[in-house]
Structure 1
Amino acid sequence: MNNQMCLFFLLFLFCHISSAVKHSMKYYTTASSGLQNVSEFMYVLKVDDVEVIHCDSTNNIYEIKQDWVVKLYNKNPELLGEGRHDCFVRIPLLFKSAIYSLRQTIQSEGAIILQCIPGCELDETTGQSSGFLHCGYNGEDFFRLDLKTHTWITLSPQASIIKQIVDSDKDRILYFKNLISHRFPNLLKMGLEYGRSSLMRTDPPSVSLLQKTPSSAVSCHATGFYPDRALMFWTKDGEEIHEGVEHGEILPNHDGTFQMSVDLNVSSAEDWRRYHCVFQFEGAEDRIITELDGTLIRTNREAEDSTELPEATNLKTETNTAH
């Protein structure tokens, strides 16, 4: 192995060993005023981007979306009471007060939409957490809470108008700080304890190499994977490339899994063995690496003969794991 390859291998190993497993809890909250047939307050709570609770105070809805949340509430019934109180009383009142302030200072008439995302991230490796609170006003960035200075950072000229007013409400700032710095991380830890099997579920993909015509791009297609937090890219001689590469969107399958493709324009005169398609879940150490082998590429003509796509094990595919 030459020095360049040794260096690449060491860098690859170091990157994987140092990668952290992070989890998140986010409340996607929307409050409105002056809109007909629209709930005045609602939020969607997501853990690791998976919807777990849907709240709609206007229509008296507090819906649990995951079975593990039911188990958590059964073991800790006080959490259910707190959650319903937050949904129907505490948080709607906070947002009604905020909208009232907006009407008094910035916008006296017309519809108002106030959107905020409070939440936290937890590094499972170190146990450290970080909180955040971002708010938007009528579809534009508005405020961000600075937990160190206990002040609001303005993100628009309109926010500057009321900065002095909101900065003077120290009790509310401390409430939000305690919420996103302490309560949210504790709830997230409890959620991970009860929902780990669901939240940490990973289904590996079946990877295929496809090509419509001999002159078209080669598509590396992965399907049947879960969750949708995944990356896929092409490498040449072990390094990720961007030129001649087109990434497709992650799309849902009918069974709840996902699929994605990444296309590569490559000349037939090149040594295709230098190219590899790489699939990896975000934050994971394992990589599924598929060599670009022209003899294993499926074409439209072959697809007409069989509706089945080859499994990843039928390709020159390997799984790399850092030890």
Structure 2
Amino acid sequence: MKIACVLLLLLNLQQVRTDLQYDSCGYWTYSKGFGLPEFTERIVLNDVTVYYHDSSLRSKMPCPDWINTTAGKEEWSSIHAWSVHSRYVSALGFQSATKQFNLTGSLSDQNIYQASGCCSLYPDGTYRAFVTHAFNGKDFLSLDFKRKTFVAAVPQAVLYKTLRERDSATIEEIVAYYRTRCLDRLNILKQAPGVLIRKVPEVRIIEQQKVGSITVTCHVTGFYPPVVQMVWLGPDLQPVDEGVTDVLPNEDGTYQTRKSVIVPEEDVGEHTYSCVVLHSSVPDNITRVWGGGKAGGMAVWISLVCIWLLAAGIGLVVWWYRTRDAVI
């Protein structure tokens, strides 16, 4: 039972190995009453903004110097052209949602319509994409690529869904873009200055003596992208749940996080505790074992070997599963 529990835990953690390598997202907002421009558009690659435009600007962002190929300049022209369409459909969604939710009078003073579309390239070569819409922070609409239809998240989105699906030619273009051209855009935007590629986390153990116990902290820093999983495994490889921890940015664009476990004084030197970190920049995991300086070396090695074998086995299962379920 214990091994099964650890197996399930590491299976969940192992999903981080397939975290994105490159991720290109477009974000569009149409709002009133928040002191924001009526319409904004932003295209981001791995957390770096590579294109921005809003309705308060007289002109759109010119093609940057780092785009110096014919294909790149053509893609930039496409971004400009689709910006007009994005503003139109965002305004249409805003107006439809406001009307369907019956937000009139003072209720119409502050509302915001948001849309996002992303395509992601994973280290194993898998490519995925999605398009979602939200109104006032709640799910409103999404695009079903296979059926080439919109899916209403709430009854109030049905009207907007109907309006968008009347233009079947545009839906075909959007689906085609996210299935193929978005990957081309990823390859072009990878040249953008400031875009970070995966960076391996540094993991260290910090001790802090307290009355009756020792607080042992696993500090993980210098990693990118920001998605990371870490867990403490206590005696007999049992998970030690100490709650959720925040992932914070470093000045160099990487990220850091930490998680602590409180060890009673009587357990110091009697048991080992292992901090297991999984991140897309490493093939398996990074494990640091703490034993209060007194635990036997054999126990440490047994813990490491067990964790490695479990993670390796799960990695094969996840690899088989993802290769079976491929691209959109």
Matches of 1:264 and 1:158 in 2, distance apart? 47
Per-residue CA deviations over 1:237-283 (Å, capped at 9, x if unaligned) read: 6746143x234211223444332111113333335543111233236
Q: Conserved in 1, the CA contact under 8 Å of 2:197 and 2:224?
A: no
Per-residue CA deviations over 1:32-72 (Å, capped at 9, x if unaligned) read: 2x4363211112322234433333232247569xxxx742x
Aligned-pair CA distance for 1:21: 5.8
- Aligned ranges for residues 100-249 of structure 1 at < 5 Å? 100-102=95-97, 106-107=101-102, 109=104, 110-111=108-109, 112-125=111-124, 127-192=125-190, 194=191, 198-214=195-211, 215=213, 217-236=215-234, 239=237, 241-243=239-241, 245-249=242-246
Matches of 1:43 and 1:180 in 2, distance apart? 17
1:265 maps onto 2:269 in alignment? no
Matches of 2:207 and 2:16 in 1, distance apart? 34
Q: Conserved in 1, the CA contact under 8 Å of 2:50 and 2:192?
A: no
Q: Residue 258 and residue 272 in structure 1: after superposition, are their counterparts in 2 closer, same or farther (change >3 A)?
A: farther
**What residue number does 1:292 align with?**
290
**What residue number does 1:83 align with?**
79
1:281 maps onto 2:271 in alignment? no
State TM-score, norm by structure 1: 0.71
Q: Residue 256 and residue 49 in structure 1: after superposition, are their counterparts in 2 closer, same or farther (change >3 A)?
A: closer
Amino acid at match of 2:86: I
Q: Residue 205 and residue 120 in structure 1: after superposition, are their counterparts in 2 closer, same or farther (change >3 A)?
A: same
Segments of structure 1 that go 5 or more residues without pairing to the other structure are 297-316
**What residue number does 1:44 align with?**
42
1:200 match: secondary structure: coil
How many residue pairs align between the two structures?
Answer: 286
Higher relative contact order (CA 8 A, sep 6+): 2
Q: Conserved in 2, the CA contact under 8 Å of 1:105 and 1:162?
A: no
Q: Residue 224 and residue 21 in structure 1: after superposition, are their counterparts in 2 closer, same or farther (change >3 A)?
A: closer
Matches of 1:139 and 1:16 in 2, distance apart? 30
Q: Conserved in 1, the CA contact under 8 Å of 2:26 and 2:116?
A: yes
Amino acid at match of 2:30: A
Q: Residue 42 and residue 207 in structure 1: after superposition, are their counterparts in 2 closer, same or farther (change >3 A)?
A: same
Per-residue CA deviations over 1:106-161 (Å, capped at 9, x if unaligned) read: 54742442101112223442x44232111011221111111122222111131134
Q: Residue 123 and residue 63 in structure 1: after superposition, are their counterparts in 2 closer, same or farther (change >3 A)?
A: same
Aligned-pair CA distance for 1:189: 3.2
State TM-score, norm by structure 2: 0.70
CA RMSD of aligned residues (A): 4.0
Per-residue CA deviations over 1:166-207 (Å, capped at 9, x if unaligned) read: 333323322321232222122123334x36994324153251
Q: Residue 217 and residue 122 in structure 1: after superposition, are their counterparts in 2 closer, same or farther (change >3 A)?
A: same
Segments of structure 2 that go 5 or more residues without pairing to the other structure are 295-303, 316-328
Q: Conserved in 1, the CA contact under 8 Å of 2:16 and 2:278?
A: no
